[in-house]
Structure formats: C-alpha cells, structure tokens
C-alpha cells in the first residue's frame, strides 16, 4: 500500500505548480499507546502542499484531522505517541529533526490557529502581550517597543478597530470574532510560510465565520503562504480550499481538486458528507441526510475498508470491502479515491442516486 | 479598580463589626442565658469574699449594670477611643484599643496581647515562606513528570506530612536536634530587631515542623493545579508559538496555577496569625495562641474576647489582601 501511495502521491494533487512542494507529507502514521490498545489516529496519510495553495482536510470527529496537524507542528509531546513517516517542510524532515529545531520552526515557519480562541489565549495576559511574546521568541533582537508596534500593526491588519488601544485589552474583553482575529494576528506575526487553521470558525456564529474565512483568504493572497484548513464543515472548505483531502478512520479516503471533488465525488463517504451539508444554492430539501452509524474505533479499526460497516454499497463489492484494504487510485486526473466499487458502478450510483438528492 | 478596593475594604469593616457583635454576644449574652448575673460577673474582678458595696462599685464602673447593647456600644467606643475606669484608688485609663481589663491580673488586655503578636507573626511568616517555596516547587516538578520517581516519593512524603500532626513532628525535631544532638538547644525567642540571626536560629525548628505540614498540602494543591493548567488550550498555543518549555511552564502554566494557591495561602496565613496553638505549645513560644490557651483555662473573659477578635481581624485582613491580590493576579476579576 505504501508503495502505491508513494507512486500516486508523486503526482501531486490539484493543478500544483511544478516547483517542489513547500510541505510534503508521506505515509504519516501517528499511533498512541494506551491502556486499551494501540490507537491508530493517523494511519498512512500523504499529501503535498505548495505555497499560495490551500488544502482542506475534512472528516468527522476522530478521523485524525487534528492529530495530523498537531503532528506537523510537532505538538504531540506524549511519550506514548508514535510518529512515523515523513513530514518535509521546505525540504527539511520534521520527524527526524530534534525537538528544539522543530520548536524554532514553530511559530516562525509554521503557525497554527486554534478552534476556540477564548480557551486558546491566556486569560491573564493582554492580547498585545501575547502577540509581542510570539514575535520576540523569533525576533530576540527586537525591543519591546518595536514588538509592540508590530503587534498593533498586525491587529490593524486583521481588522481590529482602534488597534493601538485594543492591544492592551485582555482576551475576555474581546468578542469571539475579534478574539479569532487576534489569534490570526498572533499566528501571522512572524510571516509563517505555512498556516494551519484547525476548525477556525467552529466556535463562531455564522456571520463572523464568513468574515474570518474572508480574512484568511485575503491574508493568504497577501503573504502567499501555504494554508491547511481543518474542518468538519464542507461549506468552509468550499469557500477556501484549492484541494481537499477527506479523512476517515485515520486514512485518506479521497483527495483531489476542490471543484472535481464537489462536482464528481468518488467515495461513498464523501457522498454522505455532501448529503449532510446544508446548501443555500439548491432547493430546500425535506431534511438533511446524516451519514448513518458512528465513526469507527481507532483501536479495532474495521477490517478491509474502514467505512464498510456504514457504507450502503458495501454489498456491491463481492465481499472485498470487508477483507481487503482499498488503496488510493486515480479516478480522474489528480483525483484519488480509495474504494472497492468499480469506477463505472460508482459513477452510475452517483449520477442516479446521489446527485439528484444533493 | 479603585471602586473595587473601596468596596472590599468597606465589606471587611462590616464583617469585623459583625464578628465583634457575635463574639460579644457569645461571651456576655450566653452566660446570662445560663443564669449568670451581673453580680457574679463583677465579683470576678474583686477576689474572694467580695462585699456587696465593692460589687456594686465595679458593676457601675465597668458598666455591667447597663443593658447589653449599651455595654456593646461602650466596648466599641473603648476600641476606638479608649475608656476610663474609676474602680481603683486612682482612675485608670484603658488605652486605645481598649479590650477591657483582665479578671485575673487586673491589667489591660491589649498591651499583654500585643506583646505576643511579634512572636506569632515571626513564627507564621517564616513558616509561610518555607512552605510556599518548598511546596510550590515540589508540586510543579511533580506535575511536570507525573508518575515519575520524584513524583511518587514527594507525594508519599506529602501524604505523611499532611497526616503527621505538629505535636509529633515538633517533638521529634526537638528530641533530635535539641537533646540527642544539641545543635539547636536553649531555644528562647529573640526579637528580630535584637538579633536577626538568633531570631532565625531559635525559630528554625518550629518553622520546619509547621512548614512540613503545610508544604505537604501545598505540594499536592500545586501539583493538581499544574496538571490541570498544563493541559489547557493556551498552553498548547504557547508551545505553538515556539516558546521554550521552561517559559511555557513558568510564564503560562505556573502563572495560572498560582491563583488558587494565593487564595488558600491568604486564609492559612490569617488563621495562623491568630495563634498557632499547637506549635507554640510544643516549642514554648509565648505567642497569641498560648495567650488564648491561658485565657481560656483562666476563664478570663476580656482576654478571650480580645484574642478572638484579634484572630478574626487577622483572617479578615488576610482575606482582604487576597481579594486585592486576586484582582492583580487575575485581570478578569478587575472589571466584574
């Protein structure tokens, strides 16, 4: 499987530029040794990401999205975490690099925006102090005044009104949307080349969500950084992502350019996700259709295709889905899916049964 | 912030008034319910076989013939402006703050009591520094390496510390270091201003035995608090910034974990300042606690009242300081 993934991954997803990818992940596995057994949170994920491009990682809770991103950032500190594979940031392998080297890259080359900005910011320090701290870690030569000027500049850039006054406010004095803006300012203060946004809009209300997504897009255009958006909300990636990676049970089940993935999704799980997404641009449906069943255990992952217990079409694979691990295969140029259903069958089902209901 | 301070101070004063009223009621109202008359109370000031005239005179001079609310009012007045007593051959002035006269030795309560305060403060403050430093440090290191050998040993020692009373550890220390190997013998309280070195030398054993008890508690508290804060989201954010781990622990973790410690510390210190009864007893320190024990065994009401109020004052004052510190430590308190 590894071999096949490597060959397929060589053809980078999407219409990527010809240069080397800025971030290249190969066969990433992150397992946790627990008392209940080995948790395979991430089990062989590969992708490439170029500067200026946005990758959306989509999946249910527990599909391994956040574990992947924390793995890239080197934030799995538990001794029980076992990480293997390859994470190359600008050519440098982060898994074999020492923890101090990864720490130097953290916040400088790669930065992260977290889900809930209220809990992700320290309640006892002002917003300004926290941005200044982030700046001075990687700019020890800057004095306090320069760092403060930089913090105000960043707050202004992310659209905080009166930044020279709000810089001295504490996080609890900010509204939810402003807090997330401040988080973004803190993440971008060192001009990182890779920005990972882990569910950046989940804790916000809908109108603010749109503003934050706009902001991330604008900033990406301005700084030309590579962005990973992690979300369970396909609407968010539809807004932002160039490429989409769908994760299920710690594995990538489908990956491809955003347009083809939305227009011609190949994997039954992706169909399910699309069916459960509210659409304003379509006629009102009776009700949204959830994906039946519950996410798989990551300790006793179902044999064969991890999705088969929930897949309505598993019976059409002559039993392969229960016994054989599906591999990512190219279904269309740059578009990969890991499914045992024959391609013709898949396209027929999608056209006849799924598309009319979306 | 200013309004917050004013509000807190005002609340503290009200609280002290309530405490004084309740204490006064306990000592002067309850005996009446139990059938004690003003005559019997007055008789305690005189001695054996008092004459009715003498009793009447004392009753009048001390105001014991007045209704209780008036007596309470006079008591408060005495606290802030002093009082005049005319029952002796010469009129006696009870200076501010006047807690009244002792039944037994006919001396003003306050000068007797205030002499004891430096001893208790020395004992409490020294022990507090010891237990705060050792307890918090042990707790932090244990929390950073949970289930490590250091963690297991220090938490075991902490469990022993919480369980062992001062009259055991104190007596043990005395036996070892004053009798068995007399490194620290002849422990007499020496005032700090007289000889700081002797002051510390003679207090080190009481400090250690008192601090052992408390630092055990603080180590466990700090450990629990650190374990909790170190799993907070903002710690992950601090790491994501690329901060070195030492700064993540001190600036972000410990900073947040210390807040509840400050609260507990204020209460513990306030309680101790009102008299560390057992420690003072074990090490024969003439502190506020011993004063209280003596007053109670002598059934000396004015002294008991005085020492009770003093202890209440320390607790209220320490809590006031904690409240103010809290606003300094936690910015979220400031505005609410």
SS3 assignment, position B102: coil
Best of A72, A123, A183 to substitute, by most chain B Cβ atoms within 10 angstroms, is A123
A105/B330 CB distance under 8 A: no
* Shortest alpha-carbon distance between residue B335 and chain A (Å): 10
State the residue range of the domain holding A142: 118-191
SS3 assignment, position B64: coil
pLDDT per position as a tens digit, A15-27: 445 578 999 999 9
Strand (E) or helix (H) holding B84:
strand B83-85
B238/A105 CB distance under 8 A: no
A121/B234 CB distance under 8 A: yes
Q: How many residues does chain B have?
A: 336
Q: What is the pLDDT of residue A164?
A: 95
pLDDT tier for residue B210 given thresholds of 50, 70 and 90: very high
Q: What is the pLDDT of residue A4?
A: 40
Q: Considering CB atoms only, which of A111, A126, A137 is closest to B243? A: A137
A114/B237 CB distance under 8 A: yes
CA distance B269 to B126: 11
CA distance A57 to A68: 10
Judged by a CB distance cut-off of 8 A, whether residue B241 touches chain A is: yes
Q: What is the pLDDT of residue B335?
A: 58
Residue A47 and residue A63 in one domain: yes
CA distances from A13 to A18, A81, A233, A254 (A): 12, 28, 21, 11
CB pairs under 8 A between A and B: 69
Q: What is the pLDDT of residue A12?
A: 42
Q: How many other C-beta atoms are found inside a 10 Å radius of the C-beta of residue B133? A: 13
Which residues of chain A register pLDDT less than 50?
1-16
CA B149 from centre of chain: 36
Q: Considering CB atoms only, which of A114, A119, A138 is closest to B242? A: A138
Choosing from B109, B134, B157, the residue where a domain stops is: B109
CA distance B125 to B262: 15
A173/B335 CB distance under 8 A: yes
Average pLDDT over residues B218-232: 94
Q: How many other C-beta atoms are found inside a 10 Å radius of the C-beta of residue A90? A: 16
3-state secondary structure chain A: CHHHHHHHHHCCCCCCCCCCCCEEEEEEEEEEEECCEEEEEEEEEEEEECCCCEEEEECCCCCCHHHHHHHHHCCCCCCCEEEEEEEEECCEECCCCCHHHHHHHECCCEEEECCCHHHHCCCCCCHHHHHHHHHHHHCCCCCHHHHHHHHHHHHHHCCCCCHHHHCCCCHHHCCHHHHHHHHHHHHHCCCCCEEEEECCCCCCCHHHHHHHHHHHHHHHHHHCCEEEEEECCHHHHHHHCCEEEEEECCEEEEEEEHHHHHHCCCCHHHHHHHHCCCCCCCCCCCCCCCCCCCCCCCCCCCCCCCCHHHCCCHHHHCCHHHHCCCCCEEEECCEEECCCCCHHHHHHHHHHHHHHHC
Strand (E) or helix (H) holding B228:
helix B196-229
A121/B237 CB distance under 8 A: yes
Q: Considering CB atoms only, which of B233, B241, B251 is closest to A119? A: B233
* Shortest alpha-carbon distance between residue B139 and chain A (Å): 20
DSSP conformational letter for B327: H
Instruction: Report the CATH number at residue A310.
Output: 3.40.50.300
Instruction: Report the CATH number at residue B174.
Output: 1.10.3720.10
B331/A75 CB distance under 8 A: no
Q: What is the pLDDT of residue A358?
A: 74
Residue B101 and residue B144 in one domain: no
Residue of A nearest to B331 (CA): A124
Residue B89 has pLDDT above 60, yes or no: yes
Residue B142 and residue B23 in one domain: no
Total number of domains in chain B:
2
Residue B163 and residue B264 in one domain: yes
CA distances from A320 to A188, A274, A304, A340 (A): 47, 25, 7, 7
pLDDT tier for residue B129 given thresholds of 50, 70 and 90: very high
SS3 assignment, position B101: strand
Choosing from B74, B109, B144, the residue where a domain stops is: B109
B237/A122 CB distance under 8 A: yes
* Shortest alpha-carbon distance between residue A56 and chain B (Å): 20
* Shortest alpha-carbon distance between residue B183 and chain A (Å): 47
pTM of the predicted protein model? 0.83
Residue A222 and residue A165 in one domain: no
Average pLDDT score, chain B: 88
Q: Which residue has the higher pLDDT, A348 or B332?
A: A348
Judged by a CB distance cut-off of 8 A, whether residue B260 touches chain A is: no
Average pLDDT over residues B2-17: 89
Residue B163 and residue B90 in one domain: no
State the residue range of the domain holding B66: 2-109
Residue B40 and residue B125 in one domain: no
Total number of domains in chain A:
2
CA distances from A292 to A255, A273, A309, B148, B177 (A): 22, 11, 10, 44, 74
Per cent of chain A over pLDDT 90 is: 63
Q: What is the pLDDT of residue B63?
A: 80
The answer to whether the CB of A195 falls within 8 A of the CB of A228 is yes
CA distance A307 to A296: 8
pLDDT per position as a tens digit, B278-306: 999 999 999 999 999 999 998 888 899 89
Q: How many other C-beta atoms are found inside a 10 Å radius of the C-beta of residue B201? A: 14
* Shortest alpha-carbon distance between residue B258 and chain A (Å): 12
Residue of A nearest to B257 (CA): A124
Residue B122 and residue B218 in one domain: yes
Rounded to the nearest 10 degrees, the angle between the axes of helix B2-24 and helix B301-329 is: 160
Please, what is the Cα angle at B6 between B2 and B7, to 5 degrees? Answer: 115
Residue A216 and residue A96 in one domain: yes
Q: Considering CB atoms only, which of B236, B252, B332 is closest to A75? A: B236
The answer to whether the CB of A196 falls within 8 A of the CB of A228 is yes
Residue A72 and residue A131 in one domain: no
Residue A321 and residue A234 in one domain: yes
DSSP conformational letter for B88: S
The answer to whether the CB of A16 falls within 8 A of the CB of A53 is yes
Residue B317 and residue B237 in one domain: yes
Residue B248 has pLDDT above 70, yes or no: yes
Q: What is the pLDDT of residue A10?
A: 40
* Shortest alpha-carbon distance between residue B316 and chain A (Å): 26
Residue B234 and residue B116 in one domain: yes
């Amino acid at each position: 499987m590894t071999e096949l993934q490597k060959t397929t991954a060589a053809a980078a997803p999407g219409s990527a530029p010809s240069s080397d990818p800025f971030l290249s992940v190969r066969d990433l596995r992150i397992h946790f040794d627990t008392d209940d057994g080995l948790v395979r949170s991430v089990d062989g994920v590969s992708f490439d990401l170029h500067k200026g491009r946005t990758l959306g990682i989509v999946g249910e809770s527990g599909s391994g999205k956040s574990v992947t991103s924390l793995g890239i950032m080197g934030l799995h500190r538990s001794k029980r975490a076992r990480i293997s594979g390859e994470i190359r940031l600008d050519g440098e392998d982060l898994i074999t690099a020492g923890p101090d080297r990864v720490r130097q890259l953290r916040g400088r080359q790669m930065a992260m925006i977290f889900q809930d900005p209220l809990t992700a910011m320290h309640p006892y320090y002002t917003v300004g102090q926290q941005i200044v701290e982030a700046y001075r870690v990687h700019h020890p030569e800057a004095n306090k005044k320069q760092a403060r000027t930089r913090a105000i500049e960043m707050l202004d850039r992310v659209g905080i009104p009166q930044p020279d006054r709000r810089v001295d406010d504490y996080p609890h004095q900010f509204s939810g949307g402003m807090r997330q803006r401040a988080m973004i300012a803190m993440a971008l203060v060192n001009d990182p080349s890779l920005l990972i946004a882990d569910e950046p809009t989940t804790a916000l209300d809908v109108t603010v969500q749109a503003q934050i997504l706009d902001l991330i897009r604008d900033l990406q255009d301005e700084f030309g950084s590579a962005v990973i958006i992690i979300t369970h909300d396909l609407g968010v990636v539809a807004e932002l992502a160039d490429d989409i990676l769908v994760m299920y049970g710690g594995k990538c089940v489908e990956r491809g350019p955003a347009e083809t993935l939305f227009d011609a999704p190949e994997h039954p799980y992706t169909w399910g996700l699309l069916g459960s997404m509210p659409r304003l641009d379509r006629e009102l449906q009776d009700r949204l259709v959830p994906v039946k069943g519950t996410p798989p255990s990551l300790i006793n992952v179902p044999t064969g295709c991890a999705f088969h217990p929930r897949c309505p079409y598993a019976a059409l694979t002559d039993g392969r889905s229960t016994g054989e691990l599906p591999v990512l295969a190219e279904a269309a140029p740059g578009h990969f899916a890991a499914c045992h259903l024959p391609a013709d069958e898949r396209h027929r089902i999608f056209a006849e049964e799924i598309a009319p209901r979306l | 912030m200013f309004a917050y301070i004013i509000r807190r101070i005002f609340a503290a004063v009200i609280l002290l008034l309530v405490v004084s009223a309740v204490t006064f009621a306990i000592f002067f109202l309850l005996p009446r319910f139990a059938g004690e008359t003003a005559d019997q109370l007055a008789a305690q000031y005189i001695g054996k076989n008092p004459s009715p005239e003498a009793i009447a005179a004392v009753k009048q001079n001390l105001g014991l013939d007045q209704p209780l609310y008036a007596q309470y009012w006079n008591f408060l007045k005495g606290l802030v402006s002093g009082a005049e007593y005319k029952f002796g051959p010469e009129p006696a002035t009870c200076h501010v703050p006047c807690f009244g006269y002792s039944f037994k030795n006919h001396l003003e309560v306050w000068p007797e009591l205030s002499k004891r305060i430096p001893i208790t403060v020395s004992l409490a403050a020294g022990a507090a520094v010891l237990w705060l430093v050792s307890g918090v440090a042990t707790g932090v290191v244990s929390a950073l390496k949970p289930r490590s050998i250091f963690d297991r040993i220090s938490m075991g020692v902490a469990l022993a510390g919480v369980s062992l009373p001062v009259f055991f550890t104190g007596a043990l220390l005395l036996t070892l270091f004053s009798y068995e190997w007399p490194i620290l013998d002849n422990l007499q309280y020496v005032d700090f201003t007289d000889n700081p070195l002797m002051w510390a030398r003679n207090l080190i054993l009481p400090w250690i035995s008192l601090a052992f008890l408390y630092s055990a508690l603080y180590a466990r508290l700090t450990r629990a608090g650190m374990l909790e804060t170190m799993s907070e989201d903002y710690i992950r954010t601090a790491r994501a910034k690329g901060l070195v781990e030492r700064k993540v622990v001190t600036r972000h973790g410990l900073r947040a974990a210390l807040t509840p410690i400050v609260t507990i510390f204020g209460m513990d210190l306030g309680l101790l300042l009102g008299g560390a009864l057992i420690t003072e007893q074990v090490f024969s320190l003439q502190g506020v606690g011993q004063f209280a024990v003596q007053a109670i065994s002598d059934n000396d009401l004015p002294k008991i009242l005085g020492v009770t109020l003093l202890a209440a004052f320390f607790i209220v004052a320490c809590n006031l300081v904690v409240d103010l510190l809290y606003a300094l430590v936690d910015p979220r308190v400031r505005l609410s």
